[in-house]
Amino acid sequence: MSGPPVSIRGHFPHKEIEHYSSLHPKARHLQFSYGTAGFRTLGVVLDSVLFRVGVLAALRSKKLDGKTVGVMITASHNPEEDNGVKLVDPRGEMLEAAWEAHATNLANASNEDFSDVLYDFVRDSRIDMSKPSRVVYARDTRPTGESLVKALEDGLKAIGAEGRDAGITTTPVLHYLVRAINTKGTKEEYGEDSEDGYFQKMSEAFRKLVSGRPRIPPLVIDCANGVGAPIAKKLAEYLGETLPFVLYNTDTTTPGGLNNNCGADYVKTQQKPPPSLNGVLQKGQRACSLDGDADRLMYYFIDERNYFLMLDGDKIATLVAAFIVDLVRLAGLAEQVKVGVVQTAYANGASTKYLADKLPVRCTPTGVKHLHHAAEQFNIGVYFEANGHGTVLFSPSTLEKLEKHEPSTPAQSTALRHLNNLTQLVNQTVGDALSDMLLVEVVLAHKAYSAIEWNSLYTDLPNRLVKVHVPNRNAFKTEDAERRLVSPRGLQKKIDDLCKRYDGGRSFVRPSGTEDVVRVYAEAVLRSQADELAFRVAGMVYDEAGGDPHRRPKEYY
Ligand code: NG1
Ligand code: ZN
């Protein structure tokens, strides 16, 4: 005998869903996938996805008992015509992995099936439709953003969710807001839930950390012609003379400017400054680039010989981690508070070596969520991708320790005060270019380092990143935090044999999570050898993957 028909709790708004869904039809031929960076593709094809993400965000909030969920509309460092969308969970962290698959399913349901697929999802996930639902959302400066926000809002209306528009702001501000809203009035209160609250918290901590230090010389900031520009302008007002900014690439209205020949990704991949800064930078002057949504940061400078030197995510991680380790020791907490660093296989071998002599270093697969979770395992976890995305996490028990610890000397008390201020300066929800930038400036001020001294902590091994277009990148499977290939069989052995022939040679191969390519990374003691190793491995990958021999790129030898 079968039981009573399974039904869902509360009212399922069939009519509203069908009505709003018909305003945002999905094109039949399009397939979408919620990957490491959420949904990301050409902005003009995302209308149906945004509507459905609105619906999903509203349901996620109901599932979490009415906690506020975040939605960020951005395509980060991608070209201006792209756009994308990501969900943010209530503590300001990335969406729970299991829901990524739900997001993909819903985005790909046909127009006719959408309402039924949604009903089944609500039933199977046991979502109580009578719960409240709250969503806060924001977008970057991309031209397609405005209409995508409307589509998202229709998704919220279809479910009857309460929406809060945070306007045009950075990804890290949106993550901050989500956490601030959800912790309001609790003992974990993260800050006032407004952009002003974000600036207040960060700038106050910064002022305290640099007070009594020599005046900081102006910092050149390349804003990638993106949302970092208006936000950096506002931050400048909060900081005043404590840290003078010289802002470049702040044009968010001229079409095509976003991330074009500028921004953190340009600097990292081209290994040169944005052309707009040519002739601007004085020798030794600190400059940095943000990406299109201001969650990545690259520092750099021109040295005495006019060489361009890049201070990337690895350099930031080493600078910051070494500083925190010192402070913990000076505060008398070395036994109780363990500091660790998390990197990916893309971290320069020289940075890993430098760090591993001082503290535990973990390697995780690419993607912020992996790094973030690994960093949570430490009392204080510093994580950075080489591309400049990263932050520092202080565990709840560490925060408590820092607050309650009784220092026994004035030196201990000073170090402890600095640590407590750092917990306020750092955006612990996600990598944040502006918060990371202030963090770097604090360390430089405390150590009295110029960019040159910072750079000399260790010397990067020359490296090369190559993209290989193959018929099926899913044929490439990895293990050991993506450092070794398990398939195609036998290829790893060939790579190992080749690496042995290069001094300091290291190379690995993995399928990209965001582009239809396989990435090859190689490093070696000499620049020419790093290049040669990368292109040789790329050639092996191309041949192994069955690439057309007539179209084999010449530079693969
Ligand atoms: P993929 O395409 O999976 O290599 C890229 C970056 C990641 C990360 C994601 C998300 C490199 C080599 N890869 O991933 O670090 O930032 O994009 O945006 O930089
Ligand atoms: Zn970004």
Please list the pLDDT of the chain residue by residue as tens digits (557 residues). 444 556 889 999 999 999 999 999 999 999 999 998 999 999 999 999 999 999 999 999 999 999 999 999 999 999 999 999 999 999 999 999 999 999 999 999 999 999 999 999 999 999 999 999 999 999 999 999 999 999 999 999 999 999 999 999 999 999 999 999 999 999 999 999 999 999 999 999 999 999 999 999 999 999 999 999 999 999 999 999 999 999 999 999 999 999 999 999 999 999 999 999 999 999 999 999 999 999 999 999 999 999 999 999 999 999 999 999 999 999 999 999 999 999 999 999 999 999 999 999 999 999 999 999 999 999 999 999 999 999 999 999 999 999 999 999 999 999 999 999 999 999 999 999 999 999 999 999 999 999 999 999 999 999 999 999 999 999 999 999 999 999 999 999 999 999 999 999 999 999 998 888 999 999 999 999 999 999 999 999 999 999 889 989 988 87
Read off the tokens for 145: 């953003």
CA 295 / ligand 2 centre spacing (Å): 5
Q: Are 47 and 151 in contact (CB under 8 A)?
A: yes
With a 6 Å cutoff on the Cβ, whether 514 touches ligand 1 is yes
CB of residue 478 inside a 6 A radius of ligand 1? no
CA of 387 to the centre of ligand 1 (A): 8
Q: Find out whether 163 and 137 touch, Cβ atoms under 8 Å.
A: yes
DSSP letter, residue 283: B
Amino acid in the structure at residue 31:
Q
SS3 191: coil
CA gap 418, 244 in Å, rounded:
22
> Which two three-digit tokens encode residue 267?
């600097």
Tell how far the Cα of 34 is from the centroid of ligand 1, in angstroms. 14
pLDDT of residue 512: 94
| 401-412 per-residue burial string, b: 16 or more CB within 10 A, e: under 16 | bbeebebeeeeb
**Binding-site residue positions:** 76, 291, 293, 295, 385-387, 510-514, 519
* Mutational pocket test of ligand 1: of 33, 34, 36, the residue with most ligand atoms within 8 Å of the beta carbon: 36
521 CB near ligand 1 (under 6 Å): no
Distance CA 52, CA 46 (A): 10
Nearest alpha carbon, ligand 1 atom 12: 346
Which protein residue's CA is at the shortest distance from atom 11 of ligand 1?
Answer: 387
The bound ligand whose nearest atom lies closest to the alpha carbon of 343 is: 1
Ligand 1 centroid vs 13 CA: distance in angstroms? 39
Place of tokens 């949604």: 118
What does the pLDDT read at residue 4?
A: 52
How far apart (Å, rounded) are the C-alpha atoms in residues 373 and 383? 10
Q: Ligand 2 center to residue 262 CA distance, Å?
A: 13
Among 61, 76, 289, 351, the one annotated catalytic: 76
As given in the structure block, the two tokens for residue 201 are: 């918290």
What is the atom index within ligand 1 of the atom nearest the CA of 510? 4
Among 41, 293, 483, 514, which residue has the most ligand 1 atoms within 8 Å of its CB, making it the best to mutate?
A: 514
Q: Six-digit token pair at 121?
A: 């999802």
Atom of ligand 1 at shortest range from CA of 346 = 12
DSSP 8-state secondary structure symbol assigned to residue 556: G
| Residue with CA nearest ligand 1 atom 16 | 367
Ligand 1 touching residue 515 (CB < 6 A):
yes
Is residue 474 exposed (0-12), middle (13-18) or buried (19+ Cβ within 10 Å)?
Answer: exposed
Strands (E) in 303-422, as ranges, are: 308-311, 339-344, 361-364, 380-384, 390-394
- What's the confidence (pLDDT) of residue 408? 97
Distance CA 247, CA 290 (A): 11
Which amino acid is residue 219, in one-letter code? Answer: L
25, two tokens: 């039809």
Query: What residue type is assigned to position 175 of the chain?
Result: H
- In order of their start, the domains of the chain are 14-168 (3.40.120.10), 195-310 (3.40.120.10), 313-455 (3.40.120.10), 463-551 (3.30.310.50)
Q: Report the DSSP pairing between strands 463-468 and 518-523.
A: antiparallel
366 lines ligand 1 (CB under 6 A): yes
Q: How far is 498 from 535, CA to CA, in rounded Å?
A: 11
| Exposure letters 225-249 (e unless 16+ CB within 10 A, then b) | bbbbbbbbebbbebbeebbebeebb
> What is the residue with the minimal CA distance to atom 18 of ligand 1?
37
The pick from 41, 512, 523 for probing ligand 1's pocket by mutation, whose C-beta has the most ligand atoms within 8 angstroms, reads 512
Token pair 């036998």: residue: 490
Whether the CB of 346 sits within 6 Å of ligand 1? yes
The span from the CA of 54 to the CA of 163, in Å, is: 10
For residue 379, the CA-to-ligand 1 centroid distance in Å is 26
State pTM to two decimals.
Answer: 0.96
Residue nearest to atom 4 of ligand 1 (CA): 512
What's residue 6's pLDDT? 67
Helix (H, G, I), strand (E, B) or coil at 22: helix
Q: Is 385 in the pocket of ligand 1 (CB under 6 A)?
A: yes
Residues tagged in the binding site annotation for Mg(2+): 76, 291, 293, 295
CA of 43 to the centre of ligand 1 (A): 20
Distance CA 1, CA 101 (A): 33
What is the CB neighbour count within 10 angstroms for residue 121? Answer: 18
Q: Report the SS3 class of residue 39.
A: strand
Q: Which two tokens stand for residue 388?
A: 């400049």
343 lines ligand 1 (CB under 6 A): no
Question: What is the number of the ligand 1 atom nearest to the C-alpha of 367?
Answer: 8
User: For the chain, give me the number of helices (H) and strands (E)?
Assistant: 18, 19
Q: Kindly provide the residue ranges of all beta strands, DSSP E only, lying in 123-273, ordered along the sequence.
A: 134-139, 162-168, 219-222, 245-248
387 lines ligand 1 (CB under 6 A): yes
27-33, Cβ contacts within 8 angstroms, sequence gap of 24 or more: 28/110, 31/108, 32/104, 32/107, 32/108, 33/104
Give the H or E element holding residue 82. Answer: strand 82-88
pLDDT attached to residue 2: 47
| Angle (CA) 291 145 249, round 5° | 35
- Compute the distance between CA of residue 261 and CA of residue 225 in angstroms, rounded to an integer: 10
CA torsion 434-385-76-160 (nearest 10°) is -90
Concerning whether 76 is annotated as a catalytic residue, the answer is yes
Atom of ligand 1 nearest to the CA of 385: 15
Distance (angstroms) between ligand 2 centre and the Cα of 487 equals: 31
Which two structure tokens, joined as six digits, stand for 502?
A: 């290069």
Ligand 1 neighbour 223 (Cβ under 6 A): no
DSSP 555: G
What's the rounded Cα separation, in Å, for the pair 281 and 462?
Answer: 24
Ligand 1 near 37 CB (within 6 A): yes
Going by CA atoms, what residue is nearest to atom 19 of ligand 1?
Answer: 387
Nearest CA to ligand 1 atom 10: 37
